């Protein structure tokens, strides 16, 4: 980070202007975003008890319908009627689902309910993450920039390529024989 200082003299007082480069988006130690660099004021949506924000997240062939409502003290995530730890057994998949909240260090507690269909466990976890991210952005518009920089708002379009006729798989052909 470079810092430059310039002095301007006026008739009444001396003014110092300090110019600094913009900080990196990710801090090296935690991997979380420093929210102080985004000066956009909070544009939270007012929600009453019983109201929720519903969004859809997708990845590969998985689709997740996510409902975000204001919770009590801690954020509670339920996937297909089961707690997050029970549905996604590996810590890696649990972290994947919680990334939108942990990376932005969002202080509010939410109740998140997700109905997931199709695909495998990794695709489902990333679909839930996509849905949670969309719901957080709809709740607070100031989160759009940091979450977009992390790449959570983009729907990852990669999917398995279909098998073509005359081939064994999508691109694999049979063994070539001379005669």
Residue 133 belongs to domain with CATH number: 3.30.230.10
What are 72's two structure tokens?
A: 């009590």
Distance CA 169, CA 174 (A): 9
Note whether residue 170 is domain-resident. Answer: no
Q: How many CB atoms lie within 10 A of CB 153?
A: 17
Q: 149-168: per-residue pLDDT in tens?
A: 999 999 888 989 999 999 99
Selected residue with higher pLDDT from 77 and 49: 77
Note whether residue 19 is domain-resident. Answer: no
Note whether residue 165 is domain-resident. Answer: no
Q: 78-135: per-residue pLDDT in tens?
A: 999 999 999 999 999 999 999 998 888 776 678 999 999 999 999 999 999 999 999 9
- The number of folded domains in the chain is 1
156 by Cβ neighbours in 10 Å (0-12 / 13-18 / 19+) ranks as middle
Note whether residue 159 is domain-resident. Answer: no
Instruction: Give me the numbers of helices (H) and strands (E) for the chain, helices first please.
Output: 4, 7
Distance CA 76, CA 111 (A): 5
Q: 42-55: per-residue pLDDT in tens?
A: 677 777 788 899 99
Note whether residue 136 is domain-resident. Answer: yes
Q: How far is CA 129 from the centre of its chain?
A: 6
Q: Which of 149, 148, 116 is nearest to 134 (CA)?
A: 148
Note whether residue 163 is domain-resident. Answer: no
Per-residue confidence (pLDDT) for residue 34, from 0 to 100: 59
Note whether residue 121 is domain-resident. Answer: yes
Per-residue confidence (pLDDT) for residue 49, from 0 to 100: 80
Note whether residue 112 is domain-resident. Answer: yes
pTM > 0.95: yes or no: no
Kindly state the helix (H) or strand (E) to which residue 148 belongs, with its residue range. helix 144-150
Distance CA 57, CA 162 (A): 22
Tell me if 150 sits within 8 A of 103, measured CB to CB. yes
Domain span at 107: 54-150
What are 122's two structure tokens?
A: 């990794």
Distance CA 69, CA 66 (A): 10
């Amino acid at each position: 980070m470079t810092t430059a200082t310039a002095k301007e003299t006026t008739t009444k007082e001396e003014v110092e202007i300090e110019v600094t480069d913009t900080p990196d988006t990710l801090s090296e130690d935690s991997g979380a975003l420093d929210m102080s660099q985004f000066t956009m004021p909070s544009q939270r949506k007012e929600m009453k008890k019983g109201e929720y924000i519903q969004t859809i997240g997708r990845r590969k062939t998985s689709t997740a319908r996510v409902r975000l409502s204001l919770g009590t003290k801690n954020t509670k995530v339920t996937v297909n009627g089961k707690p997050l730890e029970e549905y996604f057994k590996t810590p890696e998949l649990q972290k994947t689902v919680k990334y939108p909240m942990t990376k932005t260090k969002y202080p509010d507690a939410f109740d998140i309910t997700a109905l997931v269909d199709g695909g495998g466990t990794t695709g489902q976890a990333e679909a839930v993450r996509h849905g949670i991210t969309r719901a957080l952005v709809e709740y607070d518009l100031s989160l759009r920039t940091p979450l977009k920089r992390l790449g959570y708002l983009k729907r990852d379009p990669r999917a398995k390529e279909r098998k073509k006729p005359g081939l064994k798989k999508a691109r694999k052909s049979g063994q070539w024989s001379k005669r």
